[in-house]
Structure 1
């Protein structure tokens, strides 16, 4: 059952608007492809960042004008990172506001392990061929469950000023039937695009319920996607192994992605930032 988007009963802040108390910075360092599987670096089609360099240049996180801001260190370095909650959570509804630059490949992880990259990611891929509100399995066989792909529309001077749906024929990460079929519910692209406020703050709502959770996302009160993790059928995905690794509780984390040969600076532009504010959570475990 959907939760009323206007009901703020029972929510508590996870960010005080002034400091990063309760949050831990971490480098974006890759682990195994799936529980018990090979390391991603051993099977990746392109080289991954050196772990020592990634740790030395982990993303920079600060508070500015009441918002968490995440950037690459240094701008254009190509290295990413996470900001991880000290607290772990079971079933919950998370609400926040987000304002990513274009292009900025970011996201919100839930049920994440504190000290390694495994977890369930709500995508905020604000870039060509991206998804906002879809899902990815970090270290969980890399499942990609998304309803549609986005790109930027351009104004008369060639500057991005809105989101548009990307033509699947030109996508570098095409939305295949297999990706869309993972979703228990898939939102309407036109409704999402009409609701998105380009260059401004947008509301994200995430519900996470169950040991292997059902994840549901809304952007500006428009349903984007729902995924039943226990029902995933994807190459290499083993639900029991995932539950053994993640457990029924985990951390929340914000992401600054690293660059790669596939997208380069189209994944994270030089000087780009992601921003998060009004981060609050309601416990649904009881």
Structure 2
């Protein structure tokens, strides 16, 4: 078993804000995320007209942490500096933060700022376990941003096809830094505006990242559990150490929803 050695903080600091301790890790050990390193961000912009806030900026009212999620049951969703923060705890263990309400047809908007190397996603029509439709937000090498897929028990069954004539972003040229249109639109280590529209019993999902249309696709049939046509929306912290940067965070703010007929 490895040994953790923590250096003492400088004298007098603990009476104010504790300094982040210096940590030396033995073989196989990884650092625990430290919220003290997080700083306040510039104020979030106002929600667009017609949208209702999903997050009050103070606490997780209207949300609940799943106790049965397949990626893990981390309790580490917190509110700080007007943001929802999510990370793995224990390391390798992910989780889901679900809306208490269910939604059918809607348009969702949010700002997100992940540390590079951390995998998340937006789930809709989800079960508490995370069997759901998903919009990928794989903020890591080789990841995809804004793709419409199945998650959990319907993973691999969803066969979403692009709506004919949809002016989605083309794939970047071969040989470039990425071949993923969503990743090409992404601003690393900065706030990104993600907008999702879901309509239809057989769902059509339209995704914009920073104003760029990334996905406009419809499933071949309704693959949701039991054919459900409404359900909670969830924010994901992906499980597994390979999909998460040690000590990393996802940040969400300015979450709003507009229900559609």
Common fold: TM-score over 0.5: yes
For residues 87 and 22 of structure 1, the distance between their equivalents in structure 2, rounded to whole angstroms, comes to 7
Partner residue of 1:138 out of 151, 161, 174: 151
**Aligned equivalent of 1:25:** 65
How big is the shift at 1:87?
0.5
For residues 137 and 154 of structure 2, the distance between their equivalents in structure 1, rounded to whole angstroms, comes to 19
Q: Structure 1, unaligned stretches of length 5 or more?
A: 1-5, 31-48, 146-178, 232-238
Question: RMSD of the TM alignment (CA)?
Answer: 2.5
Q: Tell me, yes or no, if the aligned pair for 1:88 and 1:249 is still in contact at 8 Å.
A: yes
For residues 126 and 234 of structure 2, the distance between their equivalents in structure 1, rounded to whole angstroms, comes to 7
Q: Tell me, yes or no, if the aligned pair for 2:154 and 2:224 is still in contact at 8 Å.
A: no
**Structure 2 vs 1, CA of residues 255 and 131 (structure 1 numbering), >3 Å: closer, same or farther?**
same
Residues 162-181 of structure 1 correspond to what in structure 2 (within 5 A)? Answer: none
Task: Report the TM-score, using the length of structure 2 for normalisation.
Answer: 0.71
Q: Tell me, yes or no, if the aligned pair for 1:111 and 1:246 is still in contact at 8 Å.
A: no
Q: Deviations over 1:20-72 (max 9, x none)?
A: 00100115643xxxxxxxxxxxxxxxxxx7xxxx44xx241001111100011
For residues 68 and 247 of structure 2, the distance between their equivalents in structure 1, rounded to whole angstroms, comes to 18
Partner residue of 1:15 out of 55, 76, 79: 55
1:65 is aligned to 2:46: no
1:278 is aligned to 2:254: yes
**Aligned equivalent of 2:161:** 182
Q: Tell me, yes or no, if the aligned pair for 1:28 and 1:80 is still in contact at 8 Å.
A: no
**Aligned equivalent of 1:203:** 193
**Aligned equivalent of 1:167:** none
How big is the shift at 1:207?
0.3
Structure with more helix by fraction: 1
Q: Deviations over 1:201-235 (max 9, x none)?
A: 00000000011210000000101112202x2xxxx
For the residue of structure 2 that corresponds to 1:112, the secondary structure is coil
**Aligned equivalent of 1:111:** 125
Partner residue of 1:79 out of 74, 83, 93: 93
**Aligned equivalent of 1:249:** 230
Q: Deviations over 1:62-121 (max 9, x none)?
A: 0111110001113xx2011000000101111000001111100001111112x2221111
Q: Tell me, yes or no, if the aligned pair for 2:135 and 2:147 is still in contact at 8 Å.
A: yes
Structure with more strand by fraction: 1
For the residue of structure 2 that corresponds to 1:188, the secondary structure is coil
How big is the shift at 1:194?
5.5
Q: Highest CA radius of gyration, 1 or 2?
A: 2
**Aligned equivalent of 1:100:** 114
Q: How many residues align?
A: 205
**Structure 2 vs 1, CA of residues 65 and 197 (structure 1 numbering), >3 Å: closer, same or farther?**
same
How big is the shift at 1:18?
0.8
Task: Report the TM-score, using the length of structure 1 for normalisation.
Answer: 0.65
For residues 201 and 7 of structure 1, the distance between their equivalents in structure 2, rounded to whole angstroms, comes to 15
For the residue of structure 2 that corresponds to 1:200, the secondary structure is coil
Residues 151-170 of structure 1 correspond to what in structure 2 (within 5 A)? Answer: none
For residues 143 and 101 of structure 2, the distance between their equivalents in structure 1, rounded to whole angstroms, comes to 29
**Aligned equivalent of 2:34:** none
